[in-house]
């Protein structure tokens, strides 16, 4: 996403714009930030209160989505849902309910994607999987073999796979896309502005593709019985099996 200098209630801000130069509008709100520095918080402001002050769109360093920041529990420890393989039954139920509530809040005209990565060993034979649900009800899915790679590469590449499916379906660039990943690593790099210490070229390429679309990423807990997430996991493991067969 690119940004233009704008006025918001008498204050200078940067507002998000589409490749066409029009504001990115979702629910009559536009993403804005008060700083052009890395790590700036990105808010949502009413479109009626924003006026562009420049027609020159520019790329800015990654910001942190205020809407997407995980809510902190009273304990201050992560999501409160535990970790896959060790979470309690109650934690799994809470995590599934949280994910279902998130998904139900998505606009009906949005494409909803679920992505996952897997590998045997780390690194080892790896794969990626993605499920894409289009607004008309059509479901697209794909498994991808990655050869020998890390789990993080599998998780990141799954985002690329989802974008490939959207492109092949000719889903409009300006239409809303919601991507659900169970990788906090992927969510942090692509949505919260974490700095990539490895896989930099892969991350850079995915970010460039995301800028061309109206996308928001969300973290959901994995392996809690969420149907689409489980299917993405199965596809990722199918990619692993294909990598093992060479």
Among candidate residues 62, 178, 191, 233, the one labeled active-site is 233
Catalytic-residue membership of 117: yes
Q: Within 10 Å of residue 17's Cβ, how many Cβ atoms?
A: 21
User: Which two three-digit tokens encode residue 202?
Assistant: 């892969």
| Exposure letters 90-102 (e unless 16+ CB within 10 A, then b) | ebbebbbebbeee
How far apart (Å, rounded) are the C-alpha atoms in residues 83 and 106? 25
Spatial separation of the C-alpha atoms in residues 130 and 116, rounded to whole Å: 7
Cα(126)–Cα(157) distance, integer angstroms = 10
In the annotation, is 218 catalytic?
A: no
Residue 233 annotated in active site: yes
CB 61 within 8 A of CB 36: yes
Residue tagged active-site, from 62, 141, 155, 178:
155
Catalytic residue among 62, 178, 182, 191: 182
Check 116, 141, 160, 228 and give the catalytic one.
116
Could you confirm whether 160 is annotated as catalytic? no
Report the distance separating Cα 174 and Cα 112, nearest Å.
Answer: 14
Question: Which residues form the catalytic set?
Answer: 116-117, 155, 182, 223, 233
């Amino acid at each position: 996403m690119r940004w233009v200098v704008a006025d918001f209630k008498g204050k200078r801000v940067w507002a998000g714009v589409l490749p066409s130069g029009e504001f990115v509008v979702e629910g009559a709100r536009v993403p804005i930030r008060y700083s052009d520095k890395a790590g700036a918080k990105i808010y949502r402001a009413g479109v009626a209160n924003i006026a562009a002050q420049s027609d020159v769109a520019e790329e800015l360093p990654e910001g942190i989505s205020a809407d997407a920041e995980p809510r902190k529990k009273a304990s201050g420890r992560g999501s409160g849902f535990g970790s896959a393989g060790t979470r309690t039954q109650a934690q799994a139920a809470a995590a599934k309910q949280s994910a279902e509530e998130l998904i139900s809040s998505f606009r009906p005209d949005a494409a909803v994607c679920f992505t996952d990565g897997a590998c045997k060993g780390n690194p080892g034979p790896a794969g990626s999987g993605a499920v894409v649900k289009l607004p008309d009800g059509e479901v697209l899915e794909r498994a991808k073999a990655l050869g020998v790679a890390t789990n993080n590469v599998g998780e990141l590449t799954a985002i690329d796979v989802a974008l490939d499916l959207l492109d092949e379906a000719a889903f409009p660039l300006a239409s809303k896309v919601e991507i659900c990943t169970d990788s906090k690593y992927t969510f942090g790099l692509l949505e919260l502005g974490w700095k990539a210490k490895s896989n930099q070229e892969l991350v850079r390429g995915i970010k460039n593709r995301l800028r061309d679309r109206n996308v928001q990423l969300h973290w959901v807990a994995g392996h809690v019985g969420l149907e689409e997430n489980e299917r993405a996991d199965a596809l990722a493991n199918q990619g692993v099996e294909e990598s093992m067969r060479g």
